[in-house]
Chain A
Amino acid sequence: MTDPLLLAVYIFVFPGFLFLLACALFFQYIDRKLAARMQHRVGPPLLQPLADLIKTLGKEVIDVKGVDRGAFSAAPLIALAAVMTAFLYIPVIGASPLAFQGDLILVLYLMTLPTLVLFVMGWLSRNVFACVGAIRTVTQLFIYEVPFFLVMLAPGLMAGSWSISEIVAWQQVHPWCAVLQPIGFVIALIALQAKLERTPFDIPEAETEIVAGPWTELTGHRLALMKLAFDVSLVTGSALIAALFLGGPELPWVIAPVWLAALAGFGLFLIKTLAVLFILATLRVATGRIRLDQLNDIGWKYIAGAAVFQVALVLVMNAWWVQP
């Protein structure tokens, strides 16, 4: 895919930005609908997320006294741009044309940005709820980020590559990493849930305690874009886990026409990513919110420990069993 026109289509239309935005809204719909059905509610209609987005975009923007308006408006854009860029390196219909050695690390870095932006916005809000929320955001970041990085890098360690597309290709001839690294797979799901600040890890935006945490002073298009950034983050994160642990869009055997292979790849991408989303949605419905000190305990005592153990196990397996 060296044709610049094709590359432009890839980045901006499919499976790039346009598709990603549609996908983000669709995933939000699936997430809300699943939760609603599990809670014996009807749930939203298909286009509700789009309607919400358009409505919030059109709402009045209220400026907090003494806050830099430019920075406050730019921050959600940075978060959105970061996660949208991250998605370009994730295989959707086959290996990503932009893949390079180290794109896994870039993607992980880009996915951290929305959380940092959220912290900055909460801190800048000059509001006690937003400040408490911001501190909680960054505290939580320190808890889940270490195990998240460790287990997300472990498949790369096993495949001998820092490129997501190459890790996917490696899983074509080897078993899925979810089978080889079950602990890592579980930790990745838990950490992603914490990264997206969904129950039981919605501590920073705990509605009943601190109103909306760092989101409290966000209004109008700022709120809409920040929310969209987290929706995109949900897609990117789910797709990343699907690629690293569930073999991504590749089949173990070769399919003859290119278009059929691309179609099969896309179908696999959707199925696997939605499967990850299903697990995340179930986790959200089945739990209440834990406390920050409890998360600190669980995070450092068990999750981080298990992540280190998983990495050690991968190293041992590399030495004696799986040849990269």
Chain B
Amino acid sequence: MAEVMVPIGPQHPALKEPVNFRIYVEGEKIVRLELDLSYNHRGIEKAAEERNFIRVLPLLERVCGICSHSHATAFVKGIEEIMGLEVPARGQYIRTIIAELERMHSHLLWLGVAAHEIGFNTLLMWTWRDREAVLDTLEEMSGNRVHYNMNEIGGVRLDLSEKQVEAAQQRLPVLEERIAQYVDMVSHQETMLLRFRGVGKLSKEEILKYGTVGPTARASGVDYDVRRDDPYLVYDEVPWNVVTDSSGDVYGRTKVRIGELSESLKIVRHCIENLPGGPIRVTSAPKAAPKGEILSRYEAPRGELAHFIRTNGTDKADRLDIRTPTLANWTSVAKALVNQNLADIPVIVAAIDPCLSCTSRMTVIDTGTMAQGSISWEELVRKCRARYGTEVQP
């Protein structure tokens, strides 16, 4: 049978963000695929270098809608280390509560999306209903549903009141019960088992070879979690476990994420019950950071997030480089898709929980000499015109 190219994206019902796959299939079997990322380059890294540390935080939250707290925390954590600031315990606890609530809402959202990809819309409706409880809690605590803007250099912006803590505590048992229901559902729902088990399998060796991170890696038996292996915030004081699975397929990734839901709930409960008193931020954080370089690592819901920050003694970062977990996971998707069914593309792609617009980067490479470099705006416009034959004025 001849190869047929099936284009998926940049506009496609399975994709919520712009990416283009050109999938070559023989019948229903995938032979190979070509990926085209970067439809939404926003220049956030460059913009972040133009703003001072106070103004850069709201910008960094906009790298990703779902992991907004992750990006801001990864950045402040790095800057605080360069500045040598000691954040008060209450501030760290509040950051952890927000971080784990964020993980819960992200994983609940993912579970719904994964179910939707196999046409199981009932689970989508149910998980997104329960996600509202988490979002309501976040809104009460921060005033916002997704961009919480809780971080400041040296602590957090808002304190938690007794009332907010009580409201959160009331929601936790409901969520616990629902999560238990999903745990049961994943291991018993027949169509989910049919569509998840043995699909998109990646061995531990492949995971390590392609540098995959987060729940995708943990589902293949890689016992690695930044929260435990390079602890930050208060993860070394809270009792919790790293969830791993050995199956390495979409089913394993689902189990790991649902397991992490319960663990996150445990962490939130512990932090709320043991919330220390005292100030929430240092009284006078310096405006400028001394010269230095740091790689700040953070376990975002999708995996290890890395912010490389170089400071030069001013109140702006000299260089900020963000490596989002999706960028680390993409290559494993291309590998996992080969020899699978056309019908399994959406669920395998969704299984890494891709966040596409966060991954857009630009590098200029000469395909002949493989030399990398930068390019002026005028030259970029000229090249685009030559490529697309348009008459856009610079």
Interface residues of A (CB under 8 A from B): 38-41, 128-129, 132, 199-200, 202-203, 206-211, 285-294
**Cα of A289 to Cα of B346 in the assembled complex, Å:** 12
CB pair B119–A200 under 8 Å, yes or no, is: yes
Chain A residues with CB below 8 A from B115, complex form: 288
A292 surroundings in chain B (CB, below 8 A): 28, 341, 343
Closest to B120 in A: A288
Q: Which residues of B contact A211 (CB under 8 A)?
A: 12-13
With A40-B125, A207-B13 as given contacts, are A287 and B343 in contact (CB-CB < 8 Å)? no
Q: Which of B5, B13, B341 contacts A291 (CB 8 A)?
A: B341
Q: Is the CB of B122 within 8 A of A289?
A: no
B187 at the interface (CB under 8 A from A): no
Question: Is the contact region of chain B dominated by helix, strand, or loop, or is it mixed?
Answer: helix
Contact with A along B156-190 (1 / 0, CB 8 A): 00000000000000000000000000000000011
A-B contact pairs, 23 of them (CB 8 A): A40-B125, A128-B7, A199-B120, A200-B119, A202-B119, A207-B14, A208-B13, A208-B14, A208-B116, A208-B117, A210-B6, A210-B342, A287-B190, A287-B191, A288-B118, A288-B120, A288-B189, A288-B192, A289-B119, A290-B194, A291-B343, A291-B344, A293-B28
Q: Is B129 an interface residue (CB 8 A)?
A: yes
Say whether B191 contacts A200, CB under 8 Å. yes
Knowing A207-B13, A291-B343 touch, does A286 contact B119 (C-beta < 8 A)?
Answer: no
Whole-angstrom CA separation of A209 from B348 in the bound complex: 12
Q: In the complex, are the beta carbons of A128 and B119 less than 8 A apart?
A: no
User: What class of interface size applies to chain B in its complex with A?
Assistant: 20 to 34
Contact of B342 among A132, A286, A288, A290 (CB under 8 A): A132
Q: How far is the CA of A210 from the CA of B123 in the complex (A)?
A: 21
* Residue from A41, A208, A210 whose CB has the most chain B CB atoms within 10 Å: A208
In the complex formed, the residue of A with least CB distance to B27 is A135
Given A287-B120, A288-B123, 13 additional A-B pairs, CB 8 A: A38-B122, A40-B129, A129-B6, A132-B4, A207-B13, A208-B14, A208-B116, A209-B343, A209-B345, A210-B6, A287-B190, A288-B115, A290-B194
Q: Does B210 contact A (CB under 8 A)?
A: no
Contact B119 A39 (CB under 8 A): no
A39-B121, A128-B4 known; A203 vs B191 contact (CB < 8 Å): no
In the complex, the answer to whether B346 meets A288 with C-beta atoms within 8 Å is no
Closest Cβ–Cβ distance, residue B367 to chain A (whole Å): 29
Of B28, B119, B129, B189, which is within 8 A of A199 by CB? Answer: B119
How many angstroms between the C-alpha atoms of A210 and B344 in the bound complex? 11
Bound CA span A40–B121, Å: 11
Please name all residues of chain B whose beta carbon is closer than 8 Å to the beta carbon of A207 when the two chains form the complex: 13-14, 119
B189 to chain A, nearest CB (A): 8
Contact indicator per residue, chain B 342-372, by CB within 8 Å of chain A (1) or not (0): 1111100000000000000000000000000
Q: Which residues of B contact A287 (CB under 8 A)?
A: 120, 190-191
**Interchain CB contact under 8 A, B6 and A203:** no
A117 to chain B, nearest CB (A): 23
Interface assignment of B147: CB less than 8 Å from any CB of chain A:
no
Give the distance in Å from the alpha carbon of A206 to the alpha carbon of B120 in the complex. Answer: 11
B195 within 8 A of A: yes
Measured between C-beta atoms, what is the minimum distance from A242 to chain B in Å? 26
CB distance from B235 to the nearest CB of A (A): 34
B139 to chain A, nearest CB (A): 20
Q: Which of A202, A209, A290 has the most CB of B within 10 A?
A: A209
Report the bound CA distance from A82 to B278 in whole Å.
77
Is A209's CB under 8 angstroms from B14's CB? yes
Which residues of B from 1 to 34 have beta carbons under 8 Å from A?
A: 4-7, 12-14, 28
Q: How far is the CA of A210 from the CA of B13 in the complex (A)?
A: 8
Question: Which of the residues A203, A286, A291 comes within 8 Å of B122, measured between beta carbons?
Answer: A286
Give the chain A neighbours of B341 by CB distance below 8 A.
291-293
B119 near A285: Cβ-Cβ < 8 Å: no
Task: Identify which of B7, B120, B189 gathers the most chain A CB atoms within 10 Å of its CB.
Answer: B120
**Known pairs A211-B13, A294-B194; A40 contacts B126 (CB<8 A):** yes
0 or 1 for each of B258-293: is its CB under 8 Å from A? (1 = yes): 000000000000000000000000000000000000
Shortest CB-to-CB span from B313 to chain A, Å, is 51
Closest 4 CB pairs of A and B: A288-B120, A289-B119, A288-B191, A39-B125
CB neighbours (8 Å) of A39 from chain B are: 121-122, 125-126
Most chain A C-beta atoms within 10 Å of own C-beta, residue among B119, B122, B345, B346: B119
Q: Nearest-CB distance from A80 to chain B (Å)? A: 26
Complex contact B4–A206 (CB within 8 A): no
In the complex, chain B residues whose CB is within 8 Å of the CB of A132 = 4, 6, 342
Within 8 A of A (CB), among B189-222: 189-192, 194-195
Q: Which residues of A contact B190 (CB under 8 A)?
A: 287
Assembly CA distance A41 to B7 (angstroms): 33
Known: A128-B4, A128-B6, A132-B6. A289 touches B120 (CB 8 A): yes
Interface residues of B in 119-149 (CB under 8 A from A): 119-123, 125-126, 129
In the complex, the answer to whether A291 meets B125 with C-beta atoms within 8 Å is no
Contact of B118 among A38, A210, A289, A293 (CB under 8 A): A289
Closest A residue to B193 using CB positions: A288
When C-beta atoms are compared, the residue in chain B nearest to A39 turns out to be: B125
Please state if A208 and B346 are interface contacts (CB–CB under 8 Å).
yes
Cα A202 to Cα B120 with chains together (Å)? 11
The chain A residue with its CB closest to the CB of B11 is: A211
Residue of A nearest to B341 (CB): A291
Known: A293-B28, A294-B194. A209 touches B342 (CB 8 A): yes
| A291 & B12 in contact (Cβ 8 Å cutoff) | no
